Amino acid sequence: MAVEKVTLGKSITSGLRKAMERDPKVVLIGEDIGKLGGVFRITEGLQKDFGEDRVIDSPLAESGIVGTAVGMALRGYRPVCEIQFDGFVYPAFDQIVSQVAKLHARGLGAVKMPMVIRIPFGGGIGSPEHHSESPEAYFAHTAGLRTVACSNPEDAHWMIQQAIECDDPVIFFEPKRRYHDRAEYDTDAGSAPRGLFDAHVVRAGTDVTLLGYGPVVKTMLEAAAAAESEGTSIEVIDLRSLSPLPIATVVESVRKTGRLVCVQEASSFLGMASEISAQVTEQCFYDLEAPVIRVAGANIPYPPSRMEDDFLPDLDRILDGVDRALAY
């Protein structure tokens, strides 16, 4: 056992390294991912160790990156694309929803599409629009894509390896404001602690279920600790998989607590929290003690960095959501 304290960013790097060591068909492609190691240094050192044929610096053309990866996947490779920032993925949106998502069904199951598209997402780093967006609902809405989001170093290490091993295309969201968060875990463990598409109850509670994914999970845990000091017991769920949606874990928790607060950085209109609210209402109508509460970003374009603290769900807004759920 080798228990180490590792950042989320370097956990993804080690996960990529293990996947590349295990399978020579794993290749990385993206802008500045080679000698530079990517803008967030996630691929740092990998081109030096695995060569320019497996860590490919691409032109500044996201549609070209994804289109090239489609060709590689059709030829038996397992490409991993890096999109520098969330808002830069839109030039590749047509490739992803029109080609990547549909090839398996279009080929009547005979064509596999084992590729991963890594997207740093969310705000909180002092950057403006196109560098701080939350486009996850677009991809979760598109049938044929798997969509996941990691929130902590251990999950990041394992989830990227599991995503690369998946025969379906996976959109892999990385919470960029958590890249430097550290946590201890066994870096030599032989297997993942949970499946790629499983939710995780990260804190048990009895009064309210608090649900989210990616960057807000840490904030939810801080809110749960603050609420406990006032006598409220909160169960915290890290959703992890946005599509497929691990709704059974959520339903089990809501049937215990009777209250659900969904948290996301994305705007509330037609986001993940809206879908979860609908499914929980359908399945837990007679168990709910209060309406499902959504705590989300405002329905506006991402604001200038000086105003992002007002846009992003913080501890106070989450606790206000909990209070509103308990008020019924």
- Cα separation, 193 vs 200, in Å, equals 10
Return the closest-CA partner of residue 105 out of 145, 132, 133, 151.
Answer: 145
Query: Left, alpha or beta for 171 (phi > 0: left; psi -120 to 50: alpha)?
Result: beta
DSSP letters, 33-90, are -SSS--TT-TTTTHHHHH-TTTEEEPPS-HHHHHHHHHHHHHTT-EEEEE-SSGGGGG
Catalytic residue check, 200: no
Q: Among residues 247, 262, 254, which one has the least CA distance to residue 296?
A: 262
Tokens standing for residue 5:
């304290």
Helix H or strand E encompassing 186: strand 182-186
Q: Closest by alpha carbon to 291, among 277, 276, 275?
A: 277
- Among residues 104, 131, 157, 200, the one annotated as catalytic is 131
Non-local CB neighbours of 47 within 8 Å, separated by 6+ positions: 33, 34, 35, 37, 54, 55, 57
- Give CA separation, 149 vs 54, 99, 180, in Å: 25, 22, 16
* Mode of pairing for the β-strands spanning 200-203 and 241-243: unpaired
Question: Buried b vs exposed e over 292-301: b needs ≥16 C-beta within 10 Å?
Answer: bbbbbbeeee
* One-letter amino acid of 91: P
**Angle, in degrees to the nearest 10, between helices 8-22 and 153-165:** 30
Alpha helices in the chain (DSSP H): 8-22, 46-50, 62-74, 93-94, 103-106, 136-140, 153-165, 216-228, 247-257, 272-284, 308-311, 315-326
Residues annotated as catalytic are 131
